[in-house]
Amino acid sequence: MSAPHRGAALSNLSLAAMLGLSLLFGAAAPALAAATKGPDTVADTAARVMDAVVNISTSQTVAPSRSVPTPELPPGSPFEEFFEEFFKRRQQQGEENGGRPRRVSSLGSGFVIDPAGFIVTNNHVIADADEIYANFADGSRLKAELVGRDTKVDLALLKVTPPEGKTLTSVKFGDSDVLRVGDWVMAIGNPFGLGGTLTVGVISARNRDINSGPYDNFLQTDAAINRGNSGGPLFDMDGNVIGINTAIISPSGGSIGIGFAVPANTAVPVIAQLKEFGETRRGWIGVRIQQVTDEIAESLSLGRTRGALVGSVTDDGPAAKGGIKAGDVIVKFDGKDVKDMRALPIIVADTPVDKQVDVVVVRKGKEETLKLAVGRLDENDKPADTEAPATPDKPAPDAATTTKLMGLEIAELTPELRSRFKLKDDAKGVVIVTVQPNTPAADRGLVAGNLILEVNQEATATPKDVENRIATLKKDGRRSALLMISDAGGQVRFTALPVD
């Protein structure tokens, strides 16, 4: 699998690890067309929009490599001496030639959204490019300047200057939210350098998360798109752009009928900001969130799994000023339902900075409506953090009085324990001394040195507080307890443990 620009960012995909996730530009590879019967014809629609689709060509200067790594071979291998001599000779030759830099080129796709010369493509198509050119269907070639880019959604806005007296053909964005699975779509692009290529398919799925960024909600299509289609438009049958083709899943680099496009409704506000400011200005509220599991939903009386659980709140951030607290579950933001943790960063990011919004949270089993002013996200920061993986710890036995419950051995926080677990002077709560292996507590990443701050949103200072709260939950017929946990660094998260 080859992915010249964003490949490293996507290499951690579990799905890609099995099937191979490739970005849609580069060298040629065999393609497999989607075996499906399309509409009788799309010729009229294609004729209207084809001239708005351009081929994007880029070039860049690559610094020479001063050394060639020698393959690792088992000690004593009969080829060890041969390979060492061969690669040493190659390295010497490179140094003797002065290690001259070389020019490399790449191809992608794009489309004109404004006759004034604004062109949309993927950021990975033009990343690190020294020169960018837009090649039009009539054979003309115009140099393009970068207006702005957004790495998180992988979009870029370019600008060309049309020749005097020439009007560029442009296309408009449609409403990607009205698309249904099974609706026909049409892709036009520059696969393998074969410009002006059209394919037809359907929307296979919506809101796909392929772990390429914090705002993943891709459209999935079986329209045949390949390397070189990156940045090209995905049209509906009326000729409106409803997506920007970005990635495919493929073990060979060619289409197997699983492609992904950034939805138009995600792209439009990003492109508008790039055009106006040259950068993106996303909303931000300053919360650290985590997924609401079935156990957490039951412990908080949510009725069903929904919303985003607030693990912690940034001091003096919009959420803190609006009254949001750790342990709240955000179920609605600015009138939009928050179906799960992944939905919240997307909704917040699309909300205009400084807008006053209503936020509905569930707190201690009851819904409350809070108001806050949306802040601006620093693009160098993460939009929302999730809980970090814990590191197991095996402390020495402690002489402090301990209590055992739910697979945990807990104790009141003493100076000795504070020193042993390197806890801050102002740390509070009940300290976990040991975690029993092969228990739900161990499975959920609890480790010795963690602090229990709350049980079901009630503060705990002693093991007796924890015991009493667990006993009350059992009496009320609850099956799990929601624990607010803090690590030695003060990072807070929530986890639910069975009380039986």
What 8-state DSSP symbol labels residue 401? -
Angle at Cα 359 formed by Cα 384 and Cα 324, nearest 5°?
65
Q: Which two structure tokens, joined as six digits, stand for 324?
A: 């949001």
Backbone angles phi, psi at 382, to 5 degrees: -80, 140
Residue whose token pair is 């690190």: 128
Closest C-alpha to 480, from 335, 213, 296, 301: 296
Residue whose token pair is 């798109």: 225
DSSP 64-115: PPS--PPPP--TT-TTHHHHHHHHHHHHHHHHHTT---EEEEEEEEEEEEET
**Catalytic residue at 443?**
no
What is the spatial distance between Cα 450 and Cα 160, in angstroms, rounded to a whole number? 57
Catalytic residue from among 22, 176, 212, 230: 230
Sign for the pseudo-dihedral over CA of 346, 482, 484, 212: negative
Residue whose token pair is 């946990």: 485
**Catalytic residue at 5?**
no
Backbone angles phi, psi at 464, to 5 degrees: -65, -35
**Catalytic residue at 124?**
yes
C-alpha dihedral, 261 to 264 to 265 to 271, nearest 10°: 110
Catalytic residue from among 57, 124, 150, 328: 124
Catalytic residue from among 154, 216, 222, 334: 154
CB-based contact 482:464 (threshold 8 Å): no
What is the spatial distance between Cα 248 and Cα 256, in angstroms, rounded to a whole number? 8
DSSP 452-494: EEEETTEE--SHHHHHHHHHHHHHTT-SEEEEEEE-TT--EEE
Closest C-alpha to 234, from 480, 435, 49: 49
Closest C-alpha to 207, from 231, 181, 189: 181
Q: Which two structure tokens, joined as six digits, stand for 334?
A: 């600015």
Q: In Å, how far are 234, 296, 299, 328, 382 from 302, measured between CA atoms?
A: 39, 8, 8, 11, 28
Q: Which residues are catalytic?
A: 124, 154, 230
